[in-house]
Structure 1
């Protein structure tokens, strides 16, 4: 497991401190919270999503820097379960703020549910609000601290002071949509890294743990540059290199042609064929070792 750094030393512990945890990222979150006596507030309670309370985000009051729940959260920081928030406002105000943001408007005017307890998502949104000197997303919170399991670091954002008032109705901006798209691709790359470790474990053991994620990122970037844009196409592209297990693709001209030369065939068809050929070469290689 990658060792995560300690929390930043300059956090404002003089303010009341909270955790916002993601019920999607932490299975059986409510059950886990019973181990501690911290006040915990289910954001889906009494809303139209109350039947989905098992995946609800929870706002949890902490008892300062030495809270056992905080220690448990820090131990699992790389898993990005949620993040720290600091505010002098009363709990009802904080609860109301997040419940107001359970849904926001897409530019196309449809209602969407942002992952408000996801550190990767909110790092982007808080950062854009800071740049705009806006209280957008911060609401009554003065300071937030979010773990980043990819960069193995903590990000901090401060509510601008003075700040442009928080909007009454939230509509995602083009900048925010672009940032959320980047988060989606980031998460896909993390999943691709896990996929490669699952299906090509011998090959992936040639990389250190930090190198594996970087390798998956490079493969995804290369695939995109070659015109393979969908998640399925990029995964098949990665499979080619998993099957080749470090062999240069230049040693397989037929596979190289499928990956690099545009043909009348659709990209998906080309990369599927390339993966089939690479799998066949891997089987032949394995057979010759028996």
Structure 2
């Protein structure tokens, strides 16, 4: 279930009590936020911060400039959370999680899902810190783990302008080893990644459109125009458009006519 929680202009903790006995983490996207490690410590100011670069001490350490970071928050007034809430939710630069285990186990669980085996011996990085990926990959497509590391996600959605509460499905019974299973490609996951890429292209196109074109698509607000925008994008792909430029050309050739 992914019910609307509250507008992105508000903290989700204005609607949900801070959990007393579960760690709360902020997962931040190093692809979306330049110099993310430095930014985190700027937000923290003179207060101590518990932050982890998730590519550190992994095979991906060489590209740590793009690494997701996990910040364990001290409470709803945490300065890093406040810094993120000023701009991050609307730009989909990260999301919140409530852990169902201790911090170390949760961190290792996320690190074990930084990559996916697309074919035997061929692994690719997953942009696990992007809210739209987390919503599908964690929230909807990975129900069978020895350890249920995450109890709840709070996901910002720039299309609806809302926070969404995402509770992963219950795990199947199993052993509780130190590391969850390796993440393998599956039809569901491939569909989730394809949907993410189409959504990313749609948002990129939306951000480049002027007000008159947006109104032709249904309104100046993304939530109103998005259904038609996605419909046109899907038709463009069916018609062989393989790049954002080709999709935009198709869009302008097929805009609804105004009277």
Instruction: Map residues 234-253 of structure 1 onto 2, 5 A cutoff.
Output: 234-240=247-253
Relative to its length, the structure with more strand (as a share) is: 2
Counterparts of 2:237 and 2:115, CA distance in 1: 32
- 2:189 pairs with 1:176: yes
Deviates more, 1:86-95 or 1:49-58: 86-95
- What is the 5 A alignment of 1:196-207? 196-197=209-210, 203-204=213-214, 207=219
CA contact (8 A) 2:8 2:162 kept: yes
Residues 262-277 of structure 1 aligned to structure 2 (within 5 Å): none
Q: Is 1:61 the equivalent of 2:67? A: no
Q: Which residue of 1 aligns with 2:23?
A: 16
Which residue matches 2:229?
Answer: 216
Gap change, CA 1:55 and 1:21, over 3 Å in 2:
same
The whole-number CA distance in structure 1 between the counterparts of 2:77 and 2:120 is 45
TM-score with structure 2 setting the length: 0.78
Output aligned runs, 1:130-149, within 5 Å. 133-135=143-145, 139-149=148-158
Q: Distance in 2 between matches of 1:47 and 1:230?
A: 34
The answer to whether residue 242 in structure 2 is matched with residue 230 in structure 1 is yes
CA distance 1:53–1:127, change in 2 (3 Å)? closer
In structure 2, relative to structure 1, the CA distance for the partners of 1:140 and 1:125 (3 Å cut) is same
| 1:104 partner SS | strand
**1:16, 1:64 within 8 Å by CA — same for their partners in 2?**
no
The answer on whether the counterparts of 2:8 and 2:161 sit within 8 Å (CA) in structure 1 is: yes
CA drift of 1:202 comes to: 5.2
Task: Show the counterpart of 2:63.
Answer: 52
Are residues 81 and 54 of structure 1, via their aligned partners in 2, closer, same or farther at CA, if it must alter by over 3 Å? same
Name the SS for the 1:79 alignment partner. Answer: coil
Higher helix fraction: Structure 1 or Structure 2? 1
The residue aligned with 1:33 is 40
Q: Report which of the two structures shows the higher radius of gyration computed on alpha carbons.
A: 1
Does the C-alpha gap of structure 1 residues 108 and 191 become closer, same or farther in structure 2, counting only changes over 3 Å? Answer: farther
| Structure 1 residues not aligned, in runs of 5+ | 249-290
Between 1 and 2, higher relative CO (CA 8 Å, sep ≥ 6) is seen in: 2
Matched length:
237
Greater shift in the superposed pair: 19-28 or 84-93: 84-93
Q: State the match for 1:158 in structure 2.
A: 167
Q: Are residues 1:185 and 2:185 paired?
A: no
- Answer with 95-104 or 14-23: which moved more: 95-104
| 1:87 pairs with one of 82, 99, 106 | 99
Distance 1:39 1:116 in 2: 19
TM-score normalized by the length of structure 1: 0.70
Q: Give the conservation status (yes or no) of the 8 Å contact 2:100–2:148.
A: no
Give how far 1:228 is off.
3.7
3-state secondary structure, aligned to 1:216: helix
Cα offset for 1:107? 4.5
